[in-house]
């Protein structure tokens, strides 16, 4: 039985529907692997995509998949029980990522980014095994704008994330349908529907990277003065004026288009 579709559910579903339309995220015949970590974002993503699927004239399939990185204490059975209860097609993939991270990670390097890289590889090969042409991830609006600021402030590049990205292997497309959904809405959604959120049980589980934390705080502070700040920032990512930037490669691009 699907979740009760209250006002917040409908609001999130509408935002996801808009993203699917704006970025052409889903087509007839797609078989989409939805990465479910047991965290709030991916549970929300799965339930919303499922609701849209039931109402959509475009036929597509969903397969939920969890990568078990092998951290002791990861309560994978909680995820399996929930997905079974809702009748989702589900695959749990066990890996020895924990061991690899412990032995190969360079001291001082980020635990999460190493873990995420390993996980991405597993998700791609899982998509092949399960006959999925797309992989849906639960990144939301706040992830996009925080990443934009992180890259500007700490890396010196003008870059966020893509809602739709062709993987380097050319076989899979990664989609991020929650691009227009704010984190606060997801937190309320998960609470309202009592979704069984668990953490990955890694040594830094639940800790938000300090730089990202700083960006969150900055956005929170600025929102006191500029209430529509988040909408404006996500809008800015879709309203780029390349000729008013400084990248010489962009100038080359314009010159070659003009000639």
Binding site for ligand ATP (CB under 6 A): 35-37, 39-42, 65-67, 119, 137-139
Angle of CA points 146, 21, 170, to nearest 5°: 75
Nearer residue to ligand ATP within complex by CB, 11 or 76: 76
State how far the Cα of 202 lies from the Cα of 116, in Å rounded to an integer.
12
**Number of separate helices (H) and strands (E) present in the chain:** 10, 6
Asked if residue 35 belongs to a known ligand binding site, the reply is yes
The answer to whether 131 is annotated as binding is no
**Least Å from the CB of residue 57 to ligand ATP:** 26
Query: CB of 49: closest distance to ligand ATP in angstroms?
Result: 11
Tell me: is residue 197 an annotated ligand-binding position: no
Does 34 belong to an annotated binding site? no
Least separation in angstroms between CB 33 and ligand ATP: 9
Give the separation between CA 64 and CA 45, rounded to whole angstroms.
Answer: 10
Which lies closer to ligand ATP via its Cβ, residue 32 or residue 237? 32
Residue closer to ligand ATP (CB basis): 208 or 245: 208
Which CB, 51 or 66, lies closer to ligand ATP? Answer: 66
Given a contact cutoff of 8 angstroms between Cβ atoms, the answer to whether 72 and 200 are in contact is no
| Cross-strand pairs, 174 | 135, 165
CA-to-CA distance for 64 and 171, rounded, in angstroms? 19
How far apart are alpha carbons 49 and 193 in whole angstroms?
16
The rounded Cα 205 to chain-centroid distance in angstroms is 17
In what order do the strands lie in the sheet containing 173-175? 90-94, 61-68, 31-35, 134-136, 173-175, 164-166
Closest contact distance (angstroms) between CB of 189 and ligand ATP is: 11
Beta pairing class for 173-175 and 90-94:
unpaired
Min CB(139)–ligand ATP separation in Å: 6
Instruction: In angstroms, give the least distance from the CB of 27 to ligand ATP.
Output: 20
What does the alpha-carbon distance between residue 164 and residue 136 come to, in Å, rounded to a whole number?
Answer: 9
The partner residues of 64 in beta bridges, in order of sequence, read: 34, 90
Establish whether 138 is an annotated binding residue.
yes
Instruction: Output 149 or 228, the one with its CB closest to ligand ATP.
Output: 149
- 60 and 217 in contact (C-beta within 8 Å)? no
Smaller CB separation from ligand ATP, 76 or 250: 76
Name which of 117, 132, 116, 130 is nearest 171 in CA terms.
132
Sequence ranges of the binding site for ATP = 35-37, 41, 67, 138, 143
């Amino acid at each position: 039985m699907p979740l009760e579709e209250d006002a917040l559910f409908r609001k999130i579903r509408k935002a996801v529907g808009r993203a699917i339309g704006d970025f052409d995220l889903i087509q007839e015949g797609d078989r989409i692997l939805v990465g479910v970590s047991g965290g709030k974002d991916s549970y929300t993503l799965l339930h919303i995509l499922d609701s849209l699927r039931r109402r959509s004239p475009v036929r597509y399939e969903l397969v939920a998949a969890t990568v078990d990185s092998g951290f002791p204490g990861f309560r994978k059975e909680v995820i399996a029980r929930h997905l079974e209860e809702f009748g989702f097609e589900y695959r749990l993939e066990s890996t020895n990522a924990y061991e690899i991270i412990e032995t190969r990670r360079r001291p001082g390097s980020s635990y999460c980014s190493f873990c995420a890289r390993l996980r991405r590889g597993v998700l791609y090969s899982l998509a092949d095994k399960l006959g999925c042409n797309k992989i849906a991830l639960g990144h939301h609006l706040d992830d996009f704008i925080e990443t934009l600021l992180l890259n500007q402030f700490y890396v010196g590049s003008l870059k966020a994330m893509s809602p739709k990205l062709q993987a380097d292997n050319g076989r899979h497309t990664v989609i991020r349908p929650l691009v227009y959904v704010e984190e606060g809405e997801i937190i309320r959604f998960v609470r309202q529907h009592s979704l069984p959120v668990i953490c990955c049980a890694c040594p830094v589980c639940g800790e938000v990277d300090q730089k990202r934390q700083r960006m969150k705080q900055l956005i929170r502070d600025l929102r006191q003065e500029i209430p529509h700040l988040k909408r404006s920032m996500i809008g800015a990512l879709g309203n780029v004026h390349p000729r008013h930037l400084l990248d010489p490669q962009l100038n080359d691009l314009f010159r070659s288009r003009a000639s």
